Amino acid sequence: MFLIILRRLGQSVFVLFLVAFISFMIFRYVGNPVDNLLGQEATVEQRDALIEALGLNDPLHEQYLDFVTRAVQFDFGNSYRGALPVADMILERLPATLELAIVSALFAMILGTLLGIYTAIRRNGLLANFIMSSSLIGVSLPTFLIGVLLIWLFAVELGWLPSFGRGETVQLGFWSTSLLTVSGLKSLVLPAITLGLYQMTLIMRLVRAEMLEVLRQDFIRFARARGLSERVVYFSHALKNTLVPVITVAGLQLGSIVAFAIITETVFQWPGVGLMFINAVFFVDIPVMSAYLLLVGTLFVVINLIVDLLYLAIDPRIRDGQLRRKVDD
Amino acid sequence: MKSLTTRLVVGMVIGLFVSSMAFAETIRWARAGDSLTMDPHAQNEGPTHALAHQIYDSLLQRDMSGAIIPSLATEWVALPDNPNVWRLKLRKGVTYHDGAAFDSEDVVFSLNRAMADGSDMKELLSSVKEVRAVDSHTVDIETNGPNPLLVNNLTNMFMMDKDWAEANNVMTPHNVAKGETNFATMNTNGTGAFKLVSRTIDEKTVLTANLNYWGKSIYPNQVTEIIYTPIQSAATRVAALLSGEVDIIQDVPVQDLGRVNSTAGLKVNTAAQNRVIFFGVDNANGPTADLRVRQAMNIAINREAIKKVVMRDQSDPTGVIMPPFVNGWTPQLNSYPAPDIAAAKALMADAGYANGFEITLNCPNDRYINDEAICQAAVGMMGQIGIKVTLDAKPKAQHFPFIKGGDSDFYMLGWGVPTFDSHYIYNFLVHTKTGDRGSWNPTGYSDPAVDAMIVSLESETDLAVRNATIAKIWAAIQAQQMYLPIHNQVLNWGMKDKIDFAVQPEDQPHFQFLTFK
């Protein structure tokens, strides 16, 4: 068990170095921050001096080494746009993104699982068919369009919910939360639905397919034959056996929820790290971009690790298999 | 007895509360970008200045029509016996938000701070030799040689309290390029109409009216609180206005103007912006080095069609790369030719390009209003006279470094003129590209006679002679068809119709001017 974790950690570190390197390759094509930094009145000499001072003329591998050396000490430098330390900027904005991501993920998982079970049990029901066909919309519409549609309906036409921002926040130590105020909760509804809709429909379809598969199996027939109630059969026996693939997908989707938050945060002016990243791209704010990509990379790696460990906990077959292979090695 | 007193006190408190409520007018203001810093000298950038103008004052100011008016200075003259010195009389009885008095010591300090290392404003004061306090409310600014335009450069030059700067160790601006910040990045102490209450970067900034503001009896000052929120996505910004969550937005996208205007309780105010959009062409190499080709391209552009189809009537076609507020502008220069394909084809044939040629048009896609769409329209128009244009549209962060490198034969550029004088255009766009001038002239155009005239403008104090030189330079570059002008941009501010607020040509709302109907 310990060895497995150790091996996975080693792989994770390698992946992160790779992420940092690839993002550095990309930055060369994003553009040049110097004109944004200096304004239109700068002379040619000032431009050259700044390019030199920022180290943009240094060879790529030197810039990369410099970045990695500082990053392992949690020093991500200062933003080109506004000069604030990048680490502080990320810490300040991370709560907003994480709260949005977690609420969206909960929304997607709970509603997705419930609807998946329902549509599996009532396979030919009118409502189930309606849910299935309308879920195609969630899968096929792009996030920004869903966001704009929701804003148009609930903010502009009905006036029920705010169209932008995070509402009032409460400071709990370093963590600013919008979960404790009415305006904060109202502000969360539309972005969370926008962000979670795709995942919700995905999980729903997955649960339904798995459920239909499981319900055909012999042990369900035997359970019924034993006279167990439908509720126990569905929720206790059938659901448990659909969970492994669902956890894999849901776990990986949590990472992409944080990554996809870029679009949702831009549409709803949600003050999180995604919005910060978009601003950084427009400004060619290299320190912010590299720190963000590293953060998202770390997040994916950590989630993958947790998902792997959850497998071990849920499915004894995998656990035994891993151990046996270790012995064979 | 006791209960009576209590009741009286409660009554008075309620009365006070109600009466103050009656005057409380909050403005919720949104635009695309946030201010970059609260330090007034660290960034020379539009949204940063727009917020700073609410909190800090400059010596002179541009009002809502763009005209220069007195602010912390009440009078300014170049000394008759020494044209190198501007003498400014300062306003008396002005205090900072912390109660300290404003005097000439602060002016000397602030201007020196704006010229210090790390300041982004120092280019505007590069001609200044020394700033001296004559007495407590008189200041002399001495320049290296006469500078008739110096006062134009003072409208975004904000005044700080020297003692406050000393106490908080912000004697120099924080150097953004070096990644520095200081106390003034997030804290303010100005003389302006509003005080900073709270600020979360990129999220929300709250300002409250300064009750001791010197301009209380000069300006309407009806706004008691400003809540400023950057909203980046244009669709969301418009939605926030339509749903009543904000009261005024800048940068209404042209496709939404009709929607806002037709909504009950909302309106759009428009004004010509201080920004001209044009195409640059290689004047030195390739087919466009031939004057006849440039002239043919100029008359092939259908500016009316671009205005109508691409800009939905929200532009001001022009024949010169100069917005109409700028000193040197004339209706004759502004007039533009009607598109004439036959004449253009004849010019092309004369130049030996009857069969046309191929060229790449470099265009930004996130900088100007409908920039890429304008370029697409131009591709079709050039096609009519046989020029096969390949469009290469890129984000501004890639577009500007590329064209400044001089590798583009045909590109789009926009230019604002903060000094409101032709010299600013000449210095950057017309002068031969050298170490400190012509940084935005990658066209290869170079005329030593024009260069000499441009330099002479900087010290010419006889306004009649100076304006004559300006006219001569315009004539020279128009005759060479150095650039292909398209139009001046139009600014749109959407707001509740109970608000009376003119659109400022620099896109700077000064909220002390705002009134409610």
pLDDT, tens digit, for every residue of B200-212?
A: 888 899 999 999 9
**Are A314 and A243 contacting, i.e. CB atoms less than 8 angstroms apart?**
yes
A36, A38, A43, best to mutate vs chain B, most B CBs in 10 Å: A43
C-beta atoms of B397 and A282 within 8 A: yes
Question: In chain A, which among 53-82 make CB contacts under 8 A with chain B?
Answer: 53-54, 77-82
CB B118 within 8 A of CB B173: yes
Residue B487 confidence (pLDDT) above 50: yes
Task: Measure CB to CB from residue A275 to each of B180, B202, B239 and give the nearest one.
Answer: B202
What does the pLDDT read at residue A327? 44
Q: What is the pLDDT of residue A13?
A: 85
Beta strands in chain A (DSSP E): 170-172, 175-177
B433 and A156 within 8 Å at the Cβ level: the answer is no
Q: Calculate the alpha carbon distances from B239 to A188, B253, B269 in Å.
A: 17, 12, 17
* A98 CB within 8 Å of a chain B CB: no
Which one of A30, A41, A93, A168 would you mutate to disrupt binding with B, by most B Cβ within 10 Å of its Cβ?
A: A41
> Cα angle at A113 between A110 and A119, to 5 degrees?
135
Nearest CA in chain A to B231: A269
| Residue A259 pLDDT | 79
Q: Say which DSSP state A308 is in.
A: H
Partner A contacted by B181 (CB < 8 A):
yes
B200 touches A at CB < 8 Å:
yes
In this prediction, residue B486 has a pLDDT band, given cuts at 50, 70 and 90, of: very high
DSSP state of B86: E
| Nearest CB partner across the interface for A31, out of B239, B245, B397 | B397
Chain A CB within 8 Å of residue B366 CB: yes
pLDDT digits (tens, 9 = 90+) for B414-472: 999 988 999 999 999 999 988 778 889 999 999 999 999 999 998 888 889 999 999 99
Q: Which of B36, B240, B436 sits opposite A81 (nearest CB)?
A: B36
Q: Are B385 and B335 contacting, i.e. CB atoms less than 8 angstroms apart? A: no
Distance from CA of B175 to the nearest CA of A (A): 8
**Which of the residue ranges A28-32, A266-270, B70-74 has the most confident prediction, judged by mean pLDDT?**
B70-74
Q: What is the pLDDT of residues A87-100, one digit of tens each?
A: 888 988 999 999 99
As a whole number, mean pLDDT of residues B13-21 equals 44
How many Å apart are CA B410 and CA B388, to the nearest integer? 12
Q: Do B177 and A30 touch (CB under 8 A)?
A: no
Query: Which of A100-109, A271-280, A319-328 has the lowest average pLDDT?
Result: A319-328
Of chain A, the percentage scoring pLDDT greater than 90 comes to: 15
ipTM above 0.90, yes or no: no
Q: SS3 for A176?
A: strand
Averaged over A264-278, what is the pLDDT? 91
What is the per-residue DSSP string for B96-164?
Answer: -TTSPBP-HHHHHHHHHHHTSTT-SSGGGGTTEEEEEEEETTEEEEEESS--TTGGGGGTT-B---HHH
- pLDDT at position A321 is 55
Task: Kindly report the length of chain A.
Answer: 329
Residue A58 CB: number of other CB atoms within 10 A? Answer: 13
Determine contact, residues A184/A177, Cβ cutoff 8 Å.
Answer: yes
Segment 115-174 of chain A within 8 Å of chain B by CB: 148, 151-152, 155-156, 159, 162-166
Least CB-CB distance to A163: which of B230, B243, B440?
B243
Query: How far is A204 from A246, CA to CA, in rounded Å?
Result: 9
Strand partners, B363: B393
pLDDT at B7: 54
Residues 302-361 of B with CB under 8 A from A: none
A310 compared with B71, residue with greater pLDDT: B71
Asked if the Cβ–Cβ distance from B203 to A164 is below 8 Å, we say no
Q: Mean pLDDT score of chain B, rounded to an integer?
A: 91
Tens digits of residue pLDDT in A13-71: 888 888 888 877 777 777 778 877 777 777 777 778 888 877 777 887 888 888 888 88
Q: Spell out the domains of chain A, with CATH numbers in brackets.
A: 31-73 (no CATH), 86-328 (1.10.3720.10)
Please list every residue in chain A whose beta carbon sits closer than 8 Å to the beta carbon of residue B42: 83
Q: Which two tokens stand for residue B125?
A: 């004061």
Whole-prediction pTM = 0.84
CB-based contact A35 B45, cutoff 8 Å: no
**Residue B240 forms contact with A (CB below 8 Å):** yes
Residues B29, A195: Cα–Cα separation, whole Å:
27
DSSP letters spanning B224-289: -EEEEEE--SHHHHHHHHHTTS-SEEE---GGGHHHHHHSTTEEEEEEEEEEEEEEEE-SSSSGGG
pLDDT tier for residue B222 given thresholds of 50, 70 and 90: very high
Q: How far apart are CA A258 and CA A221, in angstroms?
A: 41
Determine contact: B44 vs chain A, CB below 8 A.
yes
For residue A317, the model assigns a pLDDT of 67
Length of chain B: 517
Task: Give, for B169, the enclosing helix (H) or strand (E).
Answer: none
Disruptive mutation site among A34, A152, A163 for chain B (greatest number of B CBs within 10 Å): A163
Looking at residue B114, its amino acid is A
List the single residue in A with minimal CA-CA distance to B397.
A31
Please tell me what DSSP assigns to residue B58.
B
Long-range own/partner contacts, residues A278-283 (CB < 8 A, 24 or more apart): A278/B232, A279/A81, A279/B202, A279/B232, A280/A79, A280/A81, A281/A30, A282/B366, A282/B395, A282/B396, A282/B397, A283/A33, A283/A36, A283/A80, A283/A81, A283/B397
